[in-house]
């Protein structure tokens, strides 16, 4: 074989290797903004939290990989609204979010209730029954329209609290009397940050603030692929629920002794 022909085949072989090595790159992972809310969203957990694991698996069933970026919740929402992230997880369905974002089907239903010191022997059937007590609240939370109306109405004694953990500490110190909080969040924080004796001083009223507090992936509507990602996510989420995996992921955190078992949440 002449030197010219050998050079030709050598170049052809090199070109083939380059082509094999430069096949189509795998699709980039979706970038999802989130915050800290154990056990649902937590950077320290191996699954990064129950809600985020549901989001991850639902997208995987539609062929997408995801990566979560943790930051303050307010920043996550603002930057997602500006189109800096593919999506943000996970959020209650407030009227503002329904206006500003595309909302997914229900990721999971939270269970919001009232936690209080046992010696208060709290009982309530309407929110007006809370008037004698000082109520802690967090400005950035969704809550229900009825609870926000009570907080903002001017007649209820209230105390703005930066975090759920700070609210539980204020309860034990007597600085507030009642704290609206999600059940699993309360149980997670009490088991991680308080002694059994401290946790035993707090009770949870069995009446839920609402039995339909749905939560959602939110996507910026101005990004061209948001509608397609929303459809993919909803399809994957349905598969996850139909398979029974979604129900298995909703493992309740251990709660203090004496707390009533929660009702089974809707899907």
Q: Tell whether 242 is covered by a domain.
A: yes
Its pTM surpasses 0.85: no
Q: Tell whether 266 is covered by a domain.
A: no
* CATH code for position 71: 3.40.190.10
Per-residue pLDDT tens over the stretch 104-113: 999 999 999 9
Give pLDDT, residue 212: 84
Radius of gyration of the chain measured on its C-alpha atoms: 24
> H or E stretch including 157?
strand 157-160
Please check whether residues 61 and 99 belong to one and the same domain.
yes
Per-residue pLDDT tens over the stretch 15-73: 443 333 333 335 799 999 999 999 999 999 999 999 999 999 999 999 999 999 999 99
Please check whether residues 69 and 92 belong to one and the same domain.
yes
pLDDT above 60 (res 79):
yes
Please check whether residues 116 and 186 belong to one and the same domain.
yes
Residue 48 to residue 30: CA distance in whole angstroms: 16
Instruction: Tell me the pLDDT of the chain averaged across its residues.
Output: 88
Give pLDDT, residue 257: 81
Q: Which domain holds residue 44?
A: 30-109+212-249
Q: How many domains does the chain have?
A: 2
Q: Tell whether 85 is covered by a domain.
A: yes
Please check whether residues 119 and 89 belong to one and the same domain.
no
Are 216 and 93 in contact, with CB atoms under 8 Å apart? yes
Please check whether residues 45 and 119 belong to one and the same domain.
no
Nearest CA among 51, 27, 98, 47 for reference residue 240? 51
């Amino acid at each position: 074989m002449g030197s010219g022909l050998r050079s030709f085949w050598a170049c052809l072989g090199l070109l083939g290797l380059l082509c094999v090595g430069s096949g189509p790159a795998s699709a980039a992972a979706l970038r999802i903004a989130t915050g800290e809310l154990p056990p649902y969203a937590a950077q320290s957990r191996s699954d990064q939290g129950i809600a985020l694991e549901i989001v991850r698996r639902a997208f995987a069933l539609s062929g997408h990989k995801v990566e979560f970026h943790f930051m303050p919740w307010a920043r996550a929402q603002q930057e997602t609204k500006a189109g800096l992230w593919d999506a943000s997880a996970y959020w209650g369905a407030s009227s503002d979010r329904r206006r500003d974002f595309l909302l997914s089907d229900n990721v999971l239903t939270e269970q919001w209730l009232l936690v209080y010191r046992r010696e208060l022997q709290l009982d309530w059937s309407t929110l007006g029954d809370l008037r004698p007590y000082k109520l802690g609240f967090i400005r950035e939370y969704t809550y229900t329209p009825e609870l926000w109306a009570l907080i903002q109405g001017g007649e209820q004694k209230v105390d703005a609290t930066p975090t759920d953990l700070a609210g539980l500490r204020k309860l034990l110190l007597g600085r507030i009397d009642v704290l609206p909080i999600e059940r699993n969040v309360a149980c997670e924080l009490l088991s991680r940050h308080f002694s059994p004796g401290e946790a035993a001083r707090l009770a949870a009223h069995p009446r839920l603030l609402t039995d339909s507090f749905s939560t959602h992936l939110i996507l910026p509507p101005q990004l061209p692929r948001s509608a397609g990602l929303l459809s993919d996510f909803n399809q994957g989420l349905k598969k996850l629920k139909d398979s029974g995996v979604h129900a298995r992921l909703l493992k309740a955190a251990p709660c203090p002794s004496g707390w009533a078992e929660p009702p089974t949440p809707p899907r």
